Amino acid sequence: MQIEATLTRSDVKALFERLAPLTIRLGGDDELTLDGPLKVKFDPSSGVRFFCRAKVRWSVLGLHVPVTVRAVGALVVPLLERTTKGTEVLAFKLALSGADIAVLPDALDAKVTERINAELVKNRVRAAWDFRALLDHAFALPDRVETATAIGLNVRRAAVRMTTEALSLTVHLDTSVTRVAARSSRPARAS
């Protein structure tokens, strides 16, 4: 058995529009705010690309310096990832690319983007869904069913697939049945 969840570009764009402005703490008082997607592109080789405006608040010599980013590429990479507990989750990791920062020359744009990406990795800025915790389940059967007590669903494996039009998570499930232990034969009636 399998279950598939699919997000289209318009689904992802609508979600990001509801999230925006999205402020991410980078450590200390530093923060990055992404504001509304101007464009969303699905790139099967790398992930979901957002093109948007942004603001960066950076501490320089104890001063909080707000910087406007005219345009930035934000890449959200969907992947299946093992947790420290050994379970598999669907994770979405964020990285920036191609920032056009208003007050900086192009040569420094790349350095700021590199530093922000290092902070995103260091602070593990990602969203993750433990789909196994949601989908692994035993459904109790009514008491009137005498031969079994439950039907179980268990995640066997999962796959993430992306095309230029959609992002899909497919989860393959095994089923199981919990049976009632065999009962001894009924005692014979006395005649």
Q: Mind listing the pLDDT tens digit for each residue in 26-43?
A: 877 888 888 877 789 999
The last residue of one of the domains, among 94, 115, 131, is 131
Q: Output the pLDDT for position 70.
A: 78
140 in the same domain as 86: no
175 in the same domain as 112: no
Q: Output the pLDDT for position 43.
A: 94
124 in the same domain as 138: no
Q: Quick check: is 188 in a domain?
A: no
Is the confidence at residue 185, as pLDDT, over 50? no
59 in the same domain as 17: yes
Q: Angle at the Cα of 134 (from 128 to 138), degrees rounded to 5? A: 155
The Cα–Cα gap between 93 and 172 comes to 23
Q: Quick check: is 3 in a domain?
A: no
**Which range is most confident: 22-26, 33-37, 179-183?**
22-26
171 in the same domain as 98: no
Secondary element (H or E) of residue 14: helix 9-19
66 in the same domain as 30: yes
Q: Quick check: is 187 in a domain?
A: no
Q: How many CB atoms lie within 10 A of CB 110?
A: 13
Q: Quick check: is 191 in a domain?
A: no
Least Cα distance to 179 among 155, 142, 151, 143 occurs for 151
The total domain count for the chain is: 2
Q: Quick check: is 185 in a domain?
A: no
Q: Quick check: is 2 in a domain?
A: no
Q: Angle at the Cα of 42 (from 113 to 57), degrees rounded to 5? A: 25
Q: Quick check: is 4 in a domain?
A: no
Q: Note the pTM of the prediction, 2 decimals.
A: 0.78
125 in the same domain as 139: no
Q: What DSSP state is assigned to residue 86?
A: S
Q: How far is CA 148 from CA 37, 110, 151, 154, in A?
A: 52, 62, 8, 17
74 in the same domain as 123: yes
The Cα–Cα gap between 47 and 28 comes to 29
73 in the same domain as 159: no
Cβ-contact 103, 96 below 8 angstroms: no
93 in the same domain as 52: yes
85 in the same domain as 32: yes
90 in the same domain as 24: yes
Sign of CA dihedral 22, 49, 6, 1: negative
Q: Output the pLDDT for position 129.
A: 93
Q: How far is CA 109 from CA 5, 61, 115, 191, in A?
A: 37, 20, 10, 97
Structural domain of 162: 134-179
Q: Output the pLDDT for position 107.
A: 65
Q: Quick check: is 189 in a domain?
A: no
